[in-house]
Structure 1
């Protein structure tokens, strides 16, 4: 079902936003005193801001991952985490799709290593174990999977104020099937998700998720976390 819906979105004649949509995004950003930059392609933009002492950047651009159609929303913030902290939260339909690709490559080839054209996220699924904990609601695990270097890092980051935001997307499609990834790696917080239309409610919630992920990551960095 995930692949069929993605193909339908890719065929949609409205997959590129109209100029009015971009103007609505700019007006929303200016009202919140965020930096706004219109990028080269029609409808693409960058937002910049500050969270605590850390600067962040959130861009709507052409996708650089083949599992994203139309356009992607990509965020990055350097929050000075320890370099060895590695956590990826991924929505389940995307995880299942990437695992299928890895399985097919391994079983239908004489290769003993993963192909270089597989996205980095597929390699994470091979490198790290899926982790979970009982204090998160079952509905959360129905929608998402967490893979990490240690369960403690993932739990400390995702619980608290971040988890309710991850469960409260404004549209059902984003909650259930839209490719979505939130990562801690190399001392930074990353967000990557499919975002073919410049609708402000989804953008506003994505920014809330991203900036809260930065706040929660700073708490992890300050407090530390021991493996469970």
Structure 2
């Protein structure tokens, strides 16, 4: 159990706990500890509001420590997939994927590898124009990039850009606290569309109510935009039902064409 959560259970972090509980009450939400008692879940107090918020140990190897998760149904066809994340993080995942391919002619994907990592090899990378207000700092991949570009071109892109700027300021302020010698943490975050759901994943060491509220606001804007595609047919050359991690092979040449020379230095944050 994390020290932060232990403090919550023992009352040592009553101020933070009280703030989150008060926020939940004001928003018509209910706070519950998970069955494993290693995090919590925030759910609507009444039916009809499907947004679910979770905080607990990270479920992804590319996000360390504790993780904030938000998820909801979009109504988008289940074969559609897409991922948006900071450019530095996506490039790091591409390098990790490439490194797994070295030394063999063919790479068989690990069944435990997060699906969004496999999308990097199979999907279409969004170009700078398609990223709209997020270009330069973020990168995206999808099985059909046109719908994702349209999604990000509107209020969704503006909301995510505003959230990211505010979050980077929060991380910088945390690093400037008296006694802290840490550098501002990079933005650990991913927004995923998969199997009809929108999922937000964010590194969050402590359950800061301002960070949770800010993420929820940006997520709701992205969710509203995504639901605009629920009634639209989105074609796909490769649906999710066709992807079998235990059977899919990827050649080194395909990975190299995406990654570039193995000696390329890591991208700067």
TM-score scaled by length of structure 2: 0.69
C-alpha distance in 2, partners of 1:84/1:54? 24
Number of corresponding residues: 212
Instruction: Check whether the contact 1:15–1:197 (CA below 8 A) recurs between aligned residues.
Output: no
Query: Does the CA-based 8 Å contact 1:143-1:176 persist in structure 2?
Result: no
Match of 1:16 among 4, 29, 38: 4
Aligned to 2:153: 159
Whether 2:221 is the aligned partner of 1:212: answer yes
* Structure 1 position 90, deviation (Å): 1.6
2:97 maps to which of 87, 93, 102? 102
Deviations 1:157-209 (A, max 9, x none): 22222112211232314998222111111111111111111112211111112
**In 1, distance between residues paired with 2:187 and 2:58?**
14
Q: Determine if contact 1:60/1:74 at 8 Å carries over to the other structure.
A: yes
Structure 1 residue matching 2:135: 3-state secondary structure: helix
Residue 72 (structure 2) pairs with residue 63 (structure 1) = no
Cα deviation, 1:34-72, whole Å, max 9, x if unaligned, reads 23223356672212249xx66121100111212222211
Extract unaligned runs of 5+ from structure 1: 1-13
Tell me, in whole angstroms, the C-alpha distance in 2 between the residues paired with 1:136 and 1:123.
21
Structure exhibiting the larger radius of gyration computed from Cα positions: 2
What is the CA-CA distance between 1:224 and the residue it aligns to?
4.9
2:108 aligned residue (90, 113, 124): 113
**Gapped runs of 5+ residues in structure 2?**
173-183, 237-269
Conservation of the 8 A alpha-carbon contact between 1:156 and 1:225:
no
Asked if the contact 1:49/1:55 (under 8 Å) is kept, the reply is yes
Contact (CA 8 Å) 2:76, 2:227: kept in 1 or not?
Answer: yes
- The two structures, once aligned, show a CA RMSD in angstroms of 2.9
Matched, 1:79 2:74: yes
Measure, in 1, the Cα distance between the counterparts of 2:97 and 2:235: 31
Deviation at 1:156, TM superposition (A): 2.3
Residue 179 of structure 2 is aligned to residue 182 of structure 1: no
CA distance in structure 1 between the partners assigned to 2:154 and 2:89 by the alignment: 24
Q: Deviations over 1:198-228 (max 9, x none)?
A: 112211111112222221111112355679x
TM-superposed deviation, 1:104: 0.7
Cα 1:215–1:152 shift into 2, 3 Å = same
Answering whether residue 192 of structure 2 is matched by residue 196 of structure 1, we say no
Q: Work out which of the residue numbers 42, 47, 53 in structure 2 matches 1:47.
A: 42
